[in-house]
Chain A
Amino acid sequence: MPEWYEIAVGLLAAVGGGGGLLAAWKAWMSWRDGVQQRESAPTERLVAHLEKRLAEQGERIAHLEAAREIDGAYITLLVLTMAGAGITPPPRPKPPEKP
């Protein structure tokens, strides 16, 4: 009758060995199918490219936000000027009544 720790080692070996074999088999299949398994120079170049594009997009968004702020300030100024001159905006057209 094996000791309990011998059974524990057996279980460990079964899990570890099984997992290792499964991982090795999957790695082999991936290698055979041409799945990229290595962090390579092309990968790093792609990351650099994506980061650059992301920075460009960020810059564009910042410009748009700045433009929107200027627009907001301009409209506020216009409204205040109109109010100062006593000009009120035309009444909104009423929605057509339902029959």
Chain B
Amino acid sequence: MPDSQPYITKPWWAKLAEATFYVAGYLLTAVAGLMAIIYVDAFPAREGGYALVAAGLLATIGVCTRYYNLELVALWPVLTGLGAIVLWLVLNDAQVVGWLVAALIPHYARRLLVLVLIARRARRLHTMGVQDAGVV
């Protein structure tokens, strides 16, 4: 079943490529948040920017250490921050950029869904007495 594990483990090049894409994605999210704080400095883009910076860094740590629960926790503020920034962009008539950022939201939401299911299965299997619940 695809997405039965939080991250690709094999082959090594796919593992490396996936980690690179995730790290790049979350770091760019943090950079976008930083730009919102520095250049926009208006409600609600600034607040969204704070959420994106904190969550982007937390998710990067999660991907690098492969602690998928960190990424899972970080995805909520990422979605919230993106939502707030989309709202600001559309209110300020930046239609194209606004809808482009809005298009990112379902992808992050899908990743959140996958990680929620993996964490839920790990807890369930642990309750059933399966020790290495990351895989089975």
Contact = CB atoms under 8 A, between A and B. Distances in A.
Interface string B100-136: 0000000000000000100100110010000111110
Nearest to A19: B76
For the residues of A in contact with B, the DSSP-based class is helix
A39 B134 contact: yes
18 contacts: A5-B44, A6-B44, A8-B87, A9-B44, A9-B84, A12-B83, A16-B76, A20-B73, A23-B72, A23-B116, A24-B73, A30-B123, A35-B133, A36-B132, A36-B133, A40-B134, A43-B132, A46-B135
B89 to A, nearest CB: 12
B122 A30 contact: yes
A35 B68 CA distance: 12
Interface residues of B, number: 37
Given A12-B83, A35-B122, A35-B126, A27 B132 contact: no
A70 B91 CA distance: 74
A39 B77 CA distance: 23
Given A42-B132, A46-B135, A35 B51 contact: no
Contact of B126 (A23, A36, A43): A36
Interface in B55-82: 65-70, 72-73, 75-77, 79-81
B20 interface: no
A96 to B, nearest CB: 52
Given A9-B47, A39-B68, A47 B122 contact: no
Interface in B17-41: none
B67 A12 contact: no
A34 B131 CA distance: 9
Closest 9 pairs (CB-CB, A-B) = A16-B80, A20-B76, A27-B69, A19-B76, A43-B134, A9-B44, A35-B126, A39-B66, A37-B69
Contacts of B135: 43, 46-47, 50
Contacts of A58: none
B13 to A, nearest CB: 15
Interface string A77-89: 0000000000000
